[in-house]
A and B are shown apart, each in its own frame.
Chain A
Amino acid sequence: MSNPDASGILARPLAGGSYLTEGRPGLSGWLATHDHKRIALLYGVGITFFFLLGAVAAALIRLNLLTPAGSLMSAETYNKAFTFHGVVMVWFFLIPSIPATLGNFLLPLMIGARDVAFPRLNLFSWYLYVGGGLFTIGALLLGGVDTGWTFYTPFSTMFSNSHVILAVVGVFVVGFSSILTGLNFIVTVHTMRAPGMFWFRLPLFVWAMYATSLVMVLATPVLAMTLALIALERLFGIGIFDPALGGDPLLFQHFFWFYSHPAVYIMVLPAMGVTSELITCSVRRRIFGYKFMAWSMLAIAIIGFMVWGHHMFVSGQSMYAGIVFSILSFIVAVPSAIKVFNWVATLYKGDIDFRAPMIYALGFVGLFMLGGLTGLFLAATALDVNLTDTYFVVAHFHYIMVGGTVMAYLGGVHFWWPKITGRLYPEGPARFAALLMFFGFNMTFFPQYLLGYLGMPRRYHAYPEPYQWLNVLSSAGASLLAIAYLMPLCYLAWSLRQGRRAEANPWNATGLEWTVPSPPPTTNFALSPVVTEGPYEYRS
Chain B
Amino acid sequence: MTPLRQASSVAPGIDALFDAMLALSAVVAAGVFVAMTVLCIRYRRGSAADRHGAGQHEFGIELAWTLIPFGLFVGLFAWSIGLWRRLQTPPSDAQTVYVVAKQWMWKTQHANGQREINALHVPLGEPIRLLMTSEDVIHSFYVPAFRVKQDVLPGRYTQLWFTATETGRFDLYCAEYCGSDHATMRGEVDVLPPAEYARWLRAHAVQSLASRGSQLFRQLGCSGCHGSQSSVHAPDLSALYGSTVALSDGSHVIADDRYLHDSIMLPAREVVAGYAPIMPSYQGHIDEEDVLALMAFLKSSDGGPSHEQP
- Does A319 lie within 8 Å of B88, measured CB to CB? yes
Residues of A contacting B250 in the complex (Cβ-Cβ under 8 angstroms): none
Residues of A contacting B171 in the complex (Cβ-Cβ under 8 angstroms): 455, 464
- Does A389 lie within 8 Å of B176, measured CB to CB? yes
Please, how many angstroms separate the alpha-carbon atoms of A246 and B156 in the complex?
A: 11
In chain A between 425 and 483, which residues have their CB closer than 8 angstroms to a CB of chain B? 453-455, 457-464, 466-467, 469-470
CB distance from B174 to the nearest CB of A (A): 7
CB distance from B275 to the nearest CB of A (A): 21
Q: Among B76, B137, B149, B153, which residue has its beta carbon within 8 angstroms of that of A389?
A: B149
CB distance from B3 to the nearest CB of A (A): 8
In chain A between 327 and 381, which residues have their CB closer than 8 angstroms to a CB of chain B? 327, 330-331, 333-334, 337-338, 340-342, 344-345, 347-354, 362, 365-366, 369-370, 373-374, 376-377, 379-381
User: Is A134 an interface position by the 8 A CB rule?
Assistant: no
Residues of B contacting A353 in the complex (Cβ-Cβ under 8 angstroms): 44-45
- Does B69 lie within 8 Å of A386, measured CB to CB? no
Interface 9-residue window, one of B33-41, B224-232, B238-246: B33-41
- Does A330 lie within 8 Å of B73, measured CB to CB? yes
Please, how many angstroms separate the alpha-carbon atoms of A159 and B138 in the complex?
A: 11
Residue of B nearest to A461 (CB): B183
User: Is B147 an interface position by the 8 A CB rule?
Assistant: yes
- Does A381 lie within 8 Å of B55, measured CB to CB? no
User: Is B273 an interface position by the 8 A CB rule?
Assistant: no
Residue of A nearest to B186 (CB): A464
- Does A340 lie within 8 Å of B32, measured CB to CB? yes
- Does B182 lie within 8 Å of A461, measured CB to CB? yes
User: Is B126 an interface position by the 8 A CB rule?
Assistant: no
User: Is A79 an interface position by the 8 A CB rule?
Assistant: yes
Residue of A nearest to B103 (CB): A159
Q: Among A316, A373, A460, which residue has its beta carbon within 8 angstroms of that of B151?
A: A316
User: Is B148 an interface position by the 8 A CB rule?
Assistant: yes
Once A244-B155, A388-B149 are accepted as A-B contacts, the answer to whether A369 and B32 lie under 8 Å apart by CB is: yes
Interface 9-residue window, one of A146-154, A214-222, A499-507: A146-154
In chain B between 139 and 179, which residues have their CB closer than 8 angstroms to a CB of chain A? 140, 142, 144-145, 147-151, 153-156, 158, 171, 173-179
User: Is B285 an interface position by the 8 A CB rule?
Assistant: no
Residues of B contacting A242 in the complex (Cβ-Cβ under 8 angstroms): 154
CB distance from B262 to the nearest CB of A (A): 9
Please, how many angstroms separate the alpha-carbon atoms of A383 and B17 in the complex?
A: 8
Q: Among A337, A366, A463, which residue has its beta carbon within 8 angstroms of that of B65?
A: A337
User: Is B200 an interface position by the 8 A CB rule?
Assistant: no
- Does A154 lie within 8 Å of B149, measured CB to CB? no
Residues of A contacting B76 in the complex (Cβ-Cβ under 8 angstroms): 330, 376, 380
Residue of A nearest to B146 (CB): A386
Residues of A contacting B4 in the complex (Cβ-Cβ under 8 angstroms): 453-455
- Does A159 lie within 8 Å of B136, measured CB to CB? yes
User: Is B180 an interface position by the 8 A CB rule?
Assistant: yes
Please, how many angstroms separate the alpha-carbon atoms of A380 and B83 in the complex?
A: 10
Please, how many angstroms separate the alpha-carbon atoms of A341 and B81 in the complex?
A: 28
User: Is A237 an interface position by the 8 A CB rule?
Assistant: no
Once A75-B180, A353-B45, A373-B28 are accepted as A-B contacts, the answer to whether A382 and B84 lie under 8 Å apart by CB is: yes
Once A286-B55, A316-B151 are accepted as A-B contacts, the answer to whether A383 and B80 lie under 8 Å apart by CB is: yes
Once A244-B155, A344-B36, A455-B173 are accepted as A-B contacts, the answer to whether A314 and B140 lie under 8 Å apart by CB is: yes
Please, how many angstroms separate the alpha-carbon atoms of A285 and B175 in the complex?
A: 48
Residues of B contacting A326 in the complex (Cβ-Cβ under 8 angstroms): 77, 80-81, 84
Once A327-B77, A362-B36 are accepted as A-B contacts, the answer to whether A288 and B87 lie under 8 Å apart by CB is: no
Residues of B contacting A154 in the complex (Cβ-Cβ under 8 angstroms): 136-138, 154
- Does B18 lie within 8 Å of A383, measured CB to CB? yes
Residues of B contacting A283 in the complex (Cβ-Cβ under 8 angstroms): 43
Interface 9-residue window, one of B46-54, B92-100, B205-213, B291-299: B46-54
Residues of A contacting B43 in the complex (Cβ-Cβ under 8 angstroms): 283, 347-352
User: Is A243 an interface position by the 8 A CB rule?
Assistant: yes
Residues of A contacting B52 in the complex (Cβ-Cβ under 8 angstroms): 349
Once A154-B154, A316-B156, A385-B87 are accepted as A-B contacts, the answer to whether A348 and B182 lie under 8 Å apart by CB is: no
Q: Among B51, B80, B186, which residue has its beta carbon within 8 angstroms of that of A349?
A: B51
User: Is B25 an interface position by the 8 A CB rule?
Assistant: yes
Residues of A contacting B140 in the complex (Cβ-Cβ under 8 angstroms): 314, 389
Please, how many angstroms separate the alpha-carbon atoms of A323 and B44 in the complex?
A: 46
In chain B between 119 and 142, which residues have their CB closer than 8 angstroms to a CB of chain A? 136-138, 140, 142
Please, how many angstroms separate the alpha-carbon atoms of A377 and B79 in the complex?
A: 12
Please, how many angstroms separate the alpha-carbon atoms of A362 and B37 in the complex?
A: 10
Please, how many angstroms separate the alpha-carbon atoms of A385 and B155 in the complex?
A: 22
- Does A249 lie within 8 Å of B28, measured CB to CB? no
Please, how many angstroms separate the alpha-carbon atoms of A388 and B103 in the complex?
A: 21
Once A289-B62, A382-B87, A455-B173 are accepted as A-B contacts, the answer to whether A243 and B32 lie under 8 Å apart by CB is: no
Please, how many angstroms separate the alpha-carbon atoms of A315 and B103 in the complex?
A: 18
Residue of B nearest to A152 (CB): B138
Residues of B contacting A385 in the complex (Cβ-Cβ under 8 angstroms): 14, 84, 87, 147-149
- Does B151 lie within 8 Å of A315, measured CB to CB? yes
Query: What 0/1 readout, one digit per residue, does chain A (59-84) give for beta carbons within 8 Å of chain B?
Result: 00000000000100001100100000
Once A323-B81, A374-B25 are accepted as A-B contacts, the answer to whether A365 and B154 lie under 8 Å apart by CB is: no
A-B contact pairs, 20 of them (CB 8 A): A152-B138, A242-B154, A243-B154, A244-B154, A288-B58, A289-B61, A316-B151, A316-B156, A344-B36, A347-B40, A366-B33, A376-B21, A380-B76, A383-B21, A386-B14, A386-B149, A455-B144, A457-B173, A463-B183, A467-B1
Top 8 A-B pairs, shortest CB-CB distance: A243-B155, A455-B144, A382-B83, A349-B54, A380-B80, A347-B39, A330-B73, A460-B183
Beyond known contacts A314-B140, A377-B21, A381-B81: 20 more, CB 8 A cutoff: A70-B183, A76-B180, A79-B180, A152-B176, A154-B137, A159-B103, A244-B283, A314-B150, A323-B84, A341-B65, A349-B54, A351-B45, A351-B51, A352-B44, A370-B29, A382-B82, A385-B87, A453-B4, A459-B182, A469-B1
